[in-house]
């Protein structure tokens, strides 16, 4: 029954939304799955470097996503992540533009390529599919182009200050088939088991554009920190709440936000 439920969710995602990478270097165990449903909101009213021109133009985002993953064989899992967004952006001449709809949907897989006693290395190919939205709307829900990404992930279990912990490091290359520019990302996570039912996540997300940005776009750089807590409600259900803040960048906003997510094992 559990398999049927998750496979139905995956199929529904592929039908209705045919299109972060999955968090963590460990693939789902064969025959098991997880659904992470999240709601996040953020705002930005000034920017770093090129975006910081003295004007206070607000950009805001609401995002609802559902990441479903399933272990298909040993050391390999597949995932799909459809996302809804509501974007608002102030115009320099006055007024505000709004956009709502499905943004790029992520599909891919996580494949372990090396195991140590407490560590793992995985590869995660992913495609971002630009369906069901108009890329000419302002603000745009996506670029309107196919994005392909390959991500290398390293995870290890360790002990920090006497507490069980894990570290997860990810390096990614995103190849775009149109503007804006390609991207290189470095994402770092330190998870601390503060209690049998409570885990604290300290995360750093970093993205830098590379190569030709294309007409109407410029190079950019963003660095964001996030702190969150994951509380285990039942054996199969956990709640995550967190806050995040952009701490540096170039041609990018000073984004700050909050998020909440339900993690469900299936």
> Mean pLDDT, the chain, as a whole number?
88
What pTM, to 2 d.p., does this model score? 0.86
pLDDT value at position 217? 84
* Cα–Cα distance measured from residue 178 to residue 147, given in angstroms and rounded to the nearest whole number: 8
Tens-place pLDDT, residues 22-79: 348 999 999 999 999 999 999 998 888 755 555 578 999 999 999 999 999 999 999 9
* Cα–Cα distance measured from residue 142 to residue 63, given in angstroms and rounded to the nearest whole number: 13
CATH number at residue 128: 2.40.128.130
- Domain hosting 56: range is 2-265
Answer whether 115's CB lies under 8 Å from 125's CB: no
* Cα–Cα distance measured from residue 100 to residue 134, given in angstroms and rounded to the nearest whole number: 10
Tally of domains in the chain = 1
Q: Which of 131-135, 173-177, 223-227 has the lowest mean pLDDT?
A: 131-135
* Cα–Cα distance measured from residue 256 to residue 254, given in angstroms and rounded to the nearest whole number: 7
* Cα–Cα distance measured from residue 90 to residue 92, given in angstroms and rounded to the nearest whole number: 7
Q: What percent of the chain has pLDDT over 70?
A: 88
Tens-place pLDDT, residues 74-112: 999 999 999 999 999 999 888 999 999 999 999 999 999
* Cα–Cα distance measured from residue 79 to residue 24, given in angstroms and rounded to the nearest whole number: 12
């Amino acid at each position: 029954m559990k398999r049927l439920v998750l496979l139905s969710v995956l199929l529904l995602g592929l039908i209705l939304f045919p299109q972060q990478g999955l968090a963590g270097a460990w693939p789902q165990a064969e025959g098991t799955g997880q659904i992470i449903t999240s709601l996040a909101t953020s705002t930005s009213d000034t920017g770093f470097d090129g975006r910081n021109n003295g004007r206070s133009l607000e950009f805001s985002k609401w995002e609802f996503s559902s990441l479903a993953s399933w272990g298909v064989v040993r050391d390999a899992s597949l995932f799909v992540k459809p996302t809804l967004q509501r974007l608002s952006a102030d115009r320099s001449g006055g007024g505000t533009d709004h956009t709502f709809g499905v943004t790029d949907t992520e599909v891919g897989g996580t494949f372990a390529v090396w195991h140590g006693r407490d560590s793992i290395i995985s590869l995660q190919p992913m495609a971002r599919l630009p369906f069901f939205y108009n890329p000419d709307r302002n603000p745009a829900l996506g670029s309107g182009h196919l994005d392909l990404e390959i991500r290398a992930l390293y995870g290890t279990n360790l002990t920090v200050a006497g507490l069980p912990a894990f570290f997860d490091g990810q390096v990614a290359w995103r190849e775009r088939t149109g503007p804006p520019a390609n991207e290189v990302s470095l994402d770092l996570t330190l998870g601390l088991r503060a209690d049998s039912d409570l885990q604290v996540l300290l995360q750093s997300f970093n993205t830098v554009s590379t190569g030709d940005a294309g007409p109407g776009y410029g190079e950019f750089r963003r660095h964001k920190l996030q702190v969150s807590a994951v509380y285990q409600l039942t054996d199969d259900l956990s709640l995550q709440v967190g806050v995040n803040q952009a701490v540096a960048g170039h041609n990018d906003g000073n984004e700050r936000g909050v998020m909440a997510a339900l993690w469900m094992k299936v």
